[in-house]
Amino acid sequence: MDTAQLAAPSAPNTDEALLAAVRDEVLAYGVRRATATSIAQRAGVSRVTVYRRGGGIKQLLLDALVAEFRNAVEEVTAEVRAEQSPRDGRAAVTAIAAGMVKKLSHAPLVAALLKHDPEMLLPYLVDRHGRSQQLMIEAMTSAIAAGMADGSIRDGDPVLLSVVLLHALTPFVIGLGVVTAKHDPTEVLAEVRHLVDAYLAPEATS
């Protein structure tokens, strides 16, 4: 969920068309069977345009994955902000975390990669954080800092707490179906909320 800088960015409309095309291609066939010719046809551009964009099919895919994560994070944070019930910082982080697990676990491109090319996601589990993960970390860091300011979240490094939550929640994003196969999805997400809430709660004073 990362990646290298683009070698030669294309015009915004063309870039959006290319990202949509590679997304559709991977949803249909997986990464291995995706071709520049097919992606170009889907996007309505020449194959040369695909090559000039830079980075190849893998780069296009990673950029499409980042776009999917960005949309999910923006939608979830907007939904949390729009809720009418008063909430402190910890409640906001809990809602954001559970919302992202729910949305990303059903994200089409994530599901396609898990089905066709799961090895592409391995580096971001064991080697480094990608841009998609950084989006989640940034969203939670901001909310955690607000929770520390209002006293609803224990003291600590907001970034570190966000990173730990990312790693705690990742198995739910990529494997929620395993849990919900035998347990009610609503109850599972309630447990995710409890996990996040308990982790962030201030330590009880005697």
Q: Which DSSP state fits 85?
A: S
Structural domain includes residue 1: no
Confidence band, pLDDT 50/70/90 cuts, at residue 197: very high
The mean pLDDT of 175-204, rounded to a whole number, is 93
Residues 44 and 105 in one domain: no
Q: pLDDT, tens digit, for every residue of 136-158? A: 999 999 999 999 999 999 999 99
Residues 101-109 have a mean pLDDT of 91
CATH of the domain at 170: 1.10.357
CA distance 197 to 90: 7
My answer on whether 78 and 36 are in the same domain is no
20 and 85 in a single domain? The answer is: no
Residues 99 and 191 in one domain: yes
In this prediction, residue 164 carries a pLDDT of 97
> Residue 24 belongs to what domain range?
7-54
Within this chain, do residues 49 and 91 fall inside the same structural domain, yes or no?
no
Q: Is residue 2, in this structure, part of any structural domain at all? A: no
Q: Return d(Cα 40, Cα 190) in angstroms, integer.
A: 43
The pTM score is: 0.81
pLDDT reported for residue 9: 44
The answer to whether 156 and 178 have CB atoms below 8 angstroms apart is no
Same domain flag for 23 and 66:
no
> Same domain for 91 and 141?
yes
- Write the single-letter amino acid at 157: D
Whether residue 151 is contained in a domain is answered as yes
Token readout for 16 is: 């959006």
Residue 10 has pLDDT above 60, yes or no: no
C-beta of residue 69 within 8 angstroms of C-beta of residue 101: no
Average pLDDT (93-122) is 88
- The verdict on 74 and 163 lying in the same domain is yes
The count of structural domains within the chain is: 2
> Which pair of structure tokens corresponds to residue 167?
């790693």
User: Among 37-41, 116-120, 181-185, which range has the highest average pLDDT?
Assistant: 181-185
Please tell me whether residue 200 adopts helix, strand or coil conformation: helix
Q: Give 183's DSSP letter.
A: S
Instruction: Mark whether 45 and 72 lie in a shared domain.
Output: no
The band of 5, judged by pLDDT with boundaries at 50, 70 and 90, is: very low
* More confident position, 188 or 30: 188
- Residue 62, classed as helix, strand or coil, is helix
Query: Which residues, including other chains, have CB under 8 Å from residue 150's CB and lie 6 or more apart?
Result: 88, 89
